[in-house]
Amino acid sequence: MQKRILSVHDISCLGKCSNTAALPILSAAGHECVILPTALLSTHTGGFVGNSFLDLTGVMKKILRHWETLHIRFDAVYTGYFGSAEQLTIVRDYLKEKQLLRFIDPVLGDCGELYNIYTDAYVEKMREYCRGADVLTPNMTEAALLAGMPYNGDRYEENEVGTILDALFALDVHRVVLTGVRFGEAEIGIVIAERESGLKACLKTPYADTFFPGTGDTFASALCARLVAGDAFADAAKTALDFTYRSIQATIPTEIRYGLCFEEELSSLR
């Protein structure tokens, strides 16, 4: 039976990220993707300036009130960008009594910096929102913020990674994927960890020395797609990483600010 996934992200009309990455990727994997937009932007902010921005907090409330009358059942929820702590609360309250897979990409910052729309108080709200998550996919900046640790770059010793994972597991998170982890000069990848089984593994790809907007969204969407399809955790992570790496390679000859060219790789997610 087809699975129904609630995708809570912004919509960037131009530039493949957030819901414009999640929707095609989840759909290509055979799932029904239902979107709850948190904001509407003319473009994403990874290479474009002067974009328009519309906060959709009020619209979110109306959508969820309507859905409650329809008694919709979701198999999973996948959340990314929230524009405010109020939006976090709206979604948390809507999901409170629902039994479903909670997949969180905790959008907070990158490259050691908290995004300028957020505050330390918002980080605390996000930390609380992440409690009990089935899967958490922070980059190293976000992992350090959630763990309450200083950011030391994207390269960490094994004991430092262990300390971060322990702090995230203390939030009652079941599975963690640390993204954008550097392994020396030539490699980048992910660290996967599962609290109950004790699984921990590093998965690597060659490093491309440039910034690709939407990479995290592409990876997290593919990971969510394969986990909901029933893949084992490590298998889903490997599939998502390989999918993202091939998409990066397809994007390198293009103008990269438009996002990853993942379209030709979508069939690999079925």
Can you list the domains of the chain with their CATH numbers? 4-262 (3.40.1190.20)
Q: What is the pLDDT of residue 79?
A: 98
Q: What is the pLDDT of residue 11?
A: 98
Nearest to 6 by CA among 243, 224, 217, 237: 224
The DSSP output letter for 185 is T
Burial code (b: 16+ CB inside 10 Å, e: under 16) for 12-29 equals beebbbbbbbbbbbbebb
User: Any long-range contacts for 188-197 (C-beta under 8 Å, 24+ apart)?
Assistant: 188/154, 189/241, 190/219, 190/237, 190/241, 191/161, 191/165, 192/233, 192/234, 192/237, 193/165, 193/169, 194/233, 195/169
What are the average pLDDT values for consecutive 10-residue runs of the chain, which has 270 residues? 97 97 98 98 92 97 97 97 98 95 97 94 98 97 95 80 96 97 92 97 94 95 98 98 98 95 97
Q: What is the pLDDT of residue 55?
A: 97
* Count of helix runs (H) and strand runs (E) in the chain: 8, 11
Q: What is the pLDDT of residue 184?
A: 85
